[in-house]
Amino acid sequence: MRGPHNIIRLIRTGATFERTGAMKVVLDAFDAGPLLRMTIRTLVWPFQWLGYKGDVNMPPATRALTALGPAYIKFGQVLSTRPDVVGDDLAVQLRVLQDKLPPFSMDEAKAAIQRELGAPTDTLFSTFSEPVAAASLAQVHKAHLADTGEAVAVKVLRPGIEKAFRKDVDAFYFAARAIEVLSPASRRLRPMDVITHFEGVVAGELDLRLESSAAAEFAANTEGDTGFQVPLIHWHLSGRRVMTLDWAEGDSIGDNAALDAAGHDRTALASRVLQLFLNHALRDGFFHGDMHQGNLKVAANGDIIAYDFGIMGRIDEYTRRVYAEILFGFIRKDYQRVAEVHFEAGYVPANQDVDEFARALRAVGEPIFGMDASHISMARLLSYLFEVTERFGMETRTELILLQRTMVVVEGVARSLDPHMNIWQVAKPVVESYIKQSIGPKALLRDLGKTAMVLSRFGPQLPRLAEEALIRRNNPQPQPKPPSLAHQLGWMTLGGALVGAGVWISALL
């Protein structure tokens, strides 16, 4: 229910940050000014008694996000890959969220497996370990198949996770609606659409049958990728709440000391992880949407192993070409072409000045060319990018949210391996290869051939479809109005409104 009761949830968010000490950690990480600190603390401090206590043995930020639930944990997982944005200390704290959360009991895990697979754990597996990793939505056990002795990973959803996630998403919806009402300028960022997209993406993680299917498709697409592995699914031992796949043996890609001790080349790994992501996004249009350190290992032979396929991204051919042209334009420093592509794709309103937009893009690109990653402040860069989108009236592209978020995460993983990596030099060969194959005379002929095939298949139906379209145009159906916020916000005092919005904003900082 997306009603006023969610204000309590949002106030509790800020109160939990204050009670656990995470508020100061976050404000310090983002180098917040005195006025912002005073405003947030004034709004939140009186309500800290409403905050969750959390696990006192955890660092403050991890303690707060863990206490608040799975949706907040997901947010922390993304920030954990960005030490350049949140600082090294906070990034280390948040990295615990990737796969080191408190597990649920063995009895609950075995009961879930028996309910899902219809047989006791002892019958299916010759060994079944204590949890080896526990994340926000599920935990993983190492086991050996009873019939073959093969080592496998068994993933089991947390009990009651669906209800907990629903509660968080309801609060996010209310916050997004309240922000749109209280701050009309925020509507261009389409916060409601962003939350809807987030809900759809994570909902896919709550049905492990969908994750198994995604893993199988991803494995087929990447079968020929050198230096990359995807564990295979054991379908007969998988269901909605349980998934079994090959065991991935290796060092975490986030453990630099272990990688160095094993003799792996971290510079090569950094380049490969970025190029693999670009290949999957551009070549296949199907990419791993959660490529943080907790979901990547490095095998003894140096191969990168990916797992946890609950969040996968898919982009159509047109969007891939637009994305590639934008990247290629930045690589060549052709800011005019980058600006034109934005206008052609409709990412910038047509009433804006393309030359002015190109000049703004040059101010984004020039400071980061010819510099290694250790000298680039992503926090400042992202801040300026936000100013550019606001100045030119650019709306949030919900179909690109996951792609953009994953790009940020992957780039953060690569920087953690090699702080001196030149992102553009690494990306150049992949983008150039895709441009040659997808844009040009050969690509045009290929597109025309696909169009002809579609027309030949649906040609006999075109007259009927055209007639139906004309009828709908001439007799439009009334569209239902969105639900009013009057019953949700009418009872709120001005102070209540400010507290609700202020706490939400503080939670996102």
49 touches 15 (CB < 8 A): yes
71 touches 167 (CB < 8 A): no
- DSSP label at 100? B
In one letter, which amino acid is 349? P
In one letter, which amino acid is 20? T
Largest CA distance in the chain: 71
User: Between vectors from CA 412 to CA 409 and to CA 415, what angle results, nearest 5°?
Assistant: 155
Q: How far is CA 139 from CA 131, 136, 288, in A?
A: 6, 8, 19
Catalytic residue among 168, 225, 251, 290: 290
Task: Give me 419's structure tokens.
Answer: 């702080």
**CA 459, CA 471: separation in Å to the nearest integer?**
19
Q: How far is CA 477 from CA 407, 463, 471, 481, 484, in A?
A: 40, 22, 11, 12, 21
Q: Which residue has the tokens 């150039």?
A: 432
Ordered DSSP codes for 385-436: HHHHHHHTTPPP-GGGHHHHHHHHHHHHHHHHH-TT--HHHHHHHHHHHHHH
- DSSP label at 283? I
Task: Give me 33's structure tokens.
Answer: 């000014």
Q: Which CB contacts under 8 angstroms, 24+ apart, belong to 127-134? A: 128/154, 130/103, 130/106, 131/103, 131/104, 131/106, 133/99, 133/100, 133/294, 134/99, 134/100, 134/101, 134/102, 134/103, 134/104
In one letter, which amino acid is 373? A
If one counts every other C-beta atom within 10 angstroms of the C-beta of residue 485, the result is 16
**CA 184, CA 166: separation in Å to the nearest integer?**
27
**CA 43, CA 24: separation in Å to the nearest integer?**
14
For residue 112, the Cα-to-chain-centroid distance in whole angstroms is 28
Annotated active-site residue 225? The verdict is no
271 touches 424 (CB < 8 A): no
H-assigned helices in 280-353: 317-331, 335-344
For residue 183, the Cα-to-chain-centroid distance in whole angstroms is 25
Q: Which residue has the tokens 């204050």?
A: 18
Enzyme catalytic residues = 290
